[in-house]
Structure 1
Amino acid sequence: MGQSTGIAKGILGFPVAPFTAEGKLDEKALYENVNFLVEEGLDAIYIACGAGEFQSLDKSEFETMLDVANEAVGGKVPIYTGVGGNLKSAMALAALSEEKGADGYLLLPPYLIHGEQEGLYQYAKEIFESAPSLDGILYQRDNAVYSVETVRRLTAFPQLKGLKDGIGNMDMNICLTHEFKDRLEFLNGMPMAEVTMPAYIPLGITSYSSAISNYIPHISRQYYEALLAGDQETLNELYTDVILPINHIRKQRKGYAVSLIKAGMEIVGLQTKGYVRPPVTPVTNEHYQEMEKILAKALEKYPKKVKTQR
C-alpha cells in the first residue's frame, strides 16, 4: 500500500462470515459475497467486522477471510479489516492486516471493559503503533466512545484517518465534524444506516455501512443516489416499501443486525445460509417469512437493471 490520501467514501460493504451447517467457515460463499459487492459497485470492503461476526472468529479464520477478500476484490476497491477486543490480539490482527496488504482497519471496541478516556487513548495508540502503515478508523460504539478531547489527542497519529459513528449522538457528531472536518473522514455506522442518513448529510457525512447491500445492493445504490440528489419522493417510497419494514424486523431480536443479513442473502438466492455462531441466533421462521414478502415486493417494484454490453 502506498501513502494513503484518505479512506474510501460512499457505500461501504460489510460481508458476513458464511458458515456451513457444521459451523465451519464457508469460503466459497464468502468469495461470492465479496465478489457480488464489488461487482455491484460498492466503494470498499470491510472484512471480518461486526457483520462478519468478528467476535466469533479465531486468528486463522480471520486470516482466511482476508485472503478470500483479497482474491475476490482483486485490487478493485480498498479492503479494511476489523480489529479490536483483547489488546494483544487486536495488535496481532492489525499487524496481520498490514502483512496481508489491507488498506486499513476499523478499530472495534475493546473487550468488556468500560475504560476511562485515557485508557481508550492508550488502547488506540498501541494498536496504531502496531501497524504503522495502515489507516485506522475509530468506531464510536458500545464501550468505546471517544471524547472530542481524546480524538484531538489521537489526531497526532497519522494512522488515524477516520471516525465511524455507531451511537447517534448528534451533539457529539456536530462537535467532531466541526473541529476535524479537514483532518478526518466520517462514516455513519448506525444499525441500518439508511434509516438515519438524512440526519448525517448536513454534517457533510456522505459515507455509510450498508447491511442491505449484501442482498439488495442495487436498492442501496438507488437510495444513495436519491439521497444525494434530494429526491424526497423516491426516498419516501424506499422508506415505505423497503427500509423501514426491514428495520422493523431487525429491531425485534438482538443479533438480527447479523442474522437478518444472512436471511436476506439466502432469500435472494446467494450461497450464504442462515447459520450463525452463538451468542447470535438465527432469524425465526416468522421473521424469515416477513422478509421474504418484503424482498419479493421490493424486487418487483425496484428490479435490478440488466447491465448492457458495450
Structure 2
Amino acid sequence: MSVLRKSPDGILGFPVAPMNHQGNLDLKALQTNVQFLIDEGLSAIFIGCGSGEFHALDHSEYKAMVETAVTVAGGKVPVYTGVGGNIRHAVELAELSAKLGVDGYLILPPYLIEPEQEGLYEYIKTIVTSTELNAIVYQRDNCIVTVETLQRLVEFPQVVGLKDGHGNMELNMEMTQTIGDRLSWLNGMPMAEVTMPAYVNLGFQAYSSAISNYIPHISALFYHALLNQNKELLSELYRYVILPINRIRKQRKGYAVALIKAGMEIVGLPVGTKTRVPVIEVEKEHYNMLEAILNDTFERFPKGKQVNSVTG
C-alpha cells in the first residue's frame, strides 16, 4: 500500500450518524450525508467521530458507517475514521479501519482517565504503531500533549497531523513553531469558524466545519473570505450566520451534535433530529431560532455566491 503521508487541508467534513424514529442507524440517510459533503467540495470525510456519535455506536454500526463512507467516497476524497476510548478498543478500530480501506484516523481521547504525559505517549504510540494508516492526534479534554511529547510522537511517520480542540493559543504557538511543517495543523474547536482567524495565522490550514453538513456554501464563502482578507464579507457572515448559530449551540450541552442534525433537517436533508443518550435533541424554541437564521442566510447569501473551492 502506498501511503500519502499528509493530512487533508481545507474544510473537513464530519458526517453525523443518522437515526430513524426507533433510534436505529439509517445508512441510506448516511449515504446522502456523505455524498452531499463530497458534492459540495469538502476536502475529506471523517466518519464515526464526535459529530458521528462515536461514543454511542456499537461495533457493527461503526463498521457499517465506515463501509458506507468508503463506498460513497470512492477514492474521490480521503476517508478518516475516529478511534479512541479504551486502548484495546482503539487498536481494534484502527485495525478494522485499515482492513476497510480508509486513509487514516483521528485519535480520540482515552476513556475517563486523566493520564500523565508518559501514559498519553504510550496510548497514542500503541494506536499509531498498530497500522500503517495516517494518524491525527486530537488535542482536547483529557488528551493534551505537551510540545515534548509531540516531538517524540512525530518520530513515527504515521503521525501526520494535530487537531486542536483545546484552544490554548500559547501552546499552539509553541507547537507550530517547534514542529513546523512536519505536521498538518487542524482547527477542531467547537464552531471552528469562530476561532479560525486566530488559527490561520499560526499555520493551521484545515478545520472541521459542523455547519458544512447543512450550509456548506457558507463554510466555503467564509474560508475564501478569510484567506483573501475580505473583512467586509467576514463581518457579515459573523453577524448574520456564524455567531447567531454559535449562540444557540452554547445553550445546551450536546448541541455540538444535535444542532447539526436539526440544521440538516431544516434544509431538507433526510436526517432526523434523533440522537442517542446522553445527547439530547434540540429544543423546539432553539430549533425555530435556527430555522429563522437559515432562512435569512439563504436570502442574504444564496448558493450562487459560493466560491469554486472550499480550500480557498
Asked if Structure 1 and Structure 2 have the same fold, meaning a TM-score greater than 0.5 normalized by the shorter chain, the answer is yes
Q: Which residue does the alignment assign to 1:273? A: 272
Q: Which residue does the alignment assign to 1:173? A: 172
**Which amino acid in structure 1 is aligned with residue 113 of structure 2?**
I
- The CA deviation string for residues 178-199 of structure 1, in whole angstroms up to 9 with x for no partner, is 0111210000000000000000
**Which amino acid in structure 1 is aligned with residue 247 of structure 2?**
H
- The CA deviation string for residues 113-171 of structure 1, in whole angstroms up to 9 with x for no partner, is 0000000000001101111x100000001010011111011111111110000011000
Q: Which residue does the alignment assign to 1:81? A: 81
Task: Work out the CA distance in 2 between the residues paired with 1:256 and 1:279.
Answer: 11
**Which amino acid in structure 1 is aligned with residue 213 of structure 2?**
N
Q: Identity over the aligned pairs, expressed in percent?
A: 59
Q: Which residue does the alignment assign to 1:128? A: 128
Task: Work out the CA distance in 1 between the residues paired with 2:181 and 2:286.
Answer: 43
TM-score, with structure 2 as normaliser: 0.97
CA gap of 1:162–1:306, structure 2 versus 1, over 3 A, is closer
Q: Which residue does the alignment assign to 2:253? A: 254
Task: Work out the CA distance in 2 between the residues paired with 1:263 and 1:282.
Answer: 8
Task: Work out the CA distance in 1 between the residues paired with 2:211 and 2:135.
Answer: 25
Task: Work out the CA distance in 1 between the residues paired with 2:71 and 2:145.
Answer: 34
Q: Which residue does the alignment assign to 1:43? A: 43
Task: Work out the CA distance in 2 between the residues paired with 1:182 and 1:278.
Answer: 40
Aligned pairs (5 A) from 1:188-207: 188-207=187-206
- The CA deviation string for residues 21-56 of structure 1, in whole angstroms up to 9 with x for no partner, is 111100011000000000000000000000000000
Aligned pairs (5 A) from 1:143-292: 143-292=142-291
Q: Which residue does the alignment assign to 2:112? A: 112
**Which amino acid in structure 1 is aligned with residue 112 of structure 2?**
L
Moved over 3 A (4+): none
2:166–2:189: 8 Å Cα contact kept in structure 1? yes
Task: Work out the CA distance in 2 between the residues paired with 1:3 and 1:248.
Answer: 41
Number of residue-to-residue matches in the alignment: 306
2:68 corresponds to 1:68? yes
CA gap of 1:243–1:78, structure 2 versus 1, over 3 A, is same
**Which amino acid in structure 1 is aligned with residue 73 of structure 2?**
V
Task: Work out the CA distance in 1 between the residues paired with 2:93 and 2:82.
Answer: 8
Question: What secondary structure is seen at the aligned counterpart in 2 of 1:109?
Answer: coil
- In the TM superposition, residue 206 of structure 1 has moved relative to its aligned partner by 2.0
Stretch of structure 1 that moved more, 171-180 or 297-306: 297-306
Task: Work out the CA distance in 1 between the residues paired with 2:110 and 2:8.
Answer: 24
> What RMSD over aligned residues (CA atoms) do the two structures have, in Å?
1.0
Question: What secondary structure is seen at the aligned counterpart in 1 of 2:303?
Answer: coil
2:184–2:205: 8 Å Cα contact kept in structure 1? no
Which runs of 5 or more structure 1 residues have no equivalent in the other structure?
none
Q: Which has the higher contact order (CA 8 A, sep 6+)?
A: 2
